[in-house]
Each structure stands twice: as C-alpha cells, then as structure tokens.
Amino acid sequence: MTVAIIDYGSGNLRSAAKAFERMSDEKVIVTSDPKVVEAADHIVLPGVGAYADCRAGLRAVEGMEDALQKTVIEAGRPFLGICVGMQLLATIGEEFGGTEGLDWIPGHVKAIEPDDASLKIPHMGWNELHGVDESLHPVLDDLDHGAYAYFVHSYHFVPDNKDHLLATTPYGQTITAVIGRDNIVGTQFHPEKSQETGLRLIKNFLGWKP
C-alpha cells in the first residue's frame, strides 16, 4: 500500500509527507513520476501559491494529468487535494483573468471579499470549521463543529453544486473549507499544519474506502 504525494514544484512537500507518515503504516512517496501515481493506493495533490502557477506546474509534469485521470477518475482511488491542490479541482480559477482547472468538481475559484473591511487578505491563521458534524462524510469523522484548522489563502472555491460543499469557515463571508464527491475530497486548509484536526482528517482519508 502506498500514498503518492505529487511533486509539481508547489509547496513544502516534506511537512505534508511527515504528517502522512505519522498517521499511516503505508509507504509515503513524494513523486513527480506518473507511473508511481498510477500504482498508488491513495493520491494527494498539495499546492501553495497562485492558482495559475500551480496549474502550469502540474501541466509541465509530462504524463501526470493522464495518470491522475486514470487513477482518480477511471479507477476511483481516494484522492485528497490540499489548498491550491483543492482549488485545481474547479472548472476555472479567476486569479489573473481566468485559468482552466481540472473540472473534477464544477465551480469557480474566486477572490475572498469579506464584508468587514478590517479583515485582512490573505485569510491566514487558525479558523473554525462549520458543518463538519452534519456532513456525515467519512473523511470528517470525529471532527467537531468549531474545530480549528490552519488556513493561508486569498481565493476560495465556490462549487456549482452545494452537495459538494462539505464544510465551511467564516471570514467576513462563508468560505469553503472542504469539498468532495465520490472518491475525491479537498481541503482549503492545510491538514499537515492543523495539528489534531489535520491529523485526524489525514487518518480518516487513509482509511477511507469510497
């Protein structure tokens, strides 16, 4: 059993790998090799920075998008997107004019526009998760309404279908915190930086059999 954390030039992947290693007996591999991804039992797509840059970085890894299509969409293996890795699941990201996403979960990635001018952008730091105790999604098991997670972002995912919205966080507006459908789930927050909450989510993801 293996966990593939995809390396496409975005983010500090070592911290994510350490969190997954802590919660799993499975082999955790940070990789840019599509063949390793195709052989993996769980697939993780992290992401830090601008949406367009991350999208370009993923495209630049030869064969990776085909490998993701085969393993996630066709084979239905469990997939977790983190931060911009979650946002790339959208139809389009509006940062810098508009960049097409993977379109696995229809929706748009839009700028955060809080109704309180005192709230700074990016949304950075600890914030509450709302709705997790109502979603009944296996990846959110044993997480309580009001549990804290760590966020760093200026844009957020607005799904077209509200059934794909699994949890939110308040920041001058309702912001998507977790999305999902079928074998795909994504978190706007960083589980690897979210201490007990994040480690619980990682453990749930690794035990998930969609």
- Beta carbons of 92 and 51 less than 8 angstroms apart: no
Cα distances (angstroms) measured from residue 141 to each of 135, 136, 138, 144, 199: 9, 7, 5, 8, 12
Helix (H, G, I), strand (E, B) or coil at 202: helix
DSSP-H helix ranges across 48-142: 51-60, 64-68, 84-87, 132-135
Phi, psi of 164, deg, nearest 5: -85, -5
Tokens linked to 205: 């993801």
Task: Pick the catalytic residue from 42, 123, 153, 190.
Answer: 190
- Beta carbons of 112 and 175 less than 8 angstroms apart: yes
d(CA 147, CA 57): 33
Task: Pick the catalytic residue from 54, 95, 123, 192.
Answer: 192
Phi, psi of 35, deg, nearest 5: -65, -35
Tokens linked to 198: 């994040």
Task: Pick the catalytic residue from 42, 54, 83, 123.
Answer: 83
Identify the DSSP state of 71.
I
Residue 54 a catalytic site member? no
d(CA 150, CA 48): 13
Residues forming the active site: 83, 190, 192
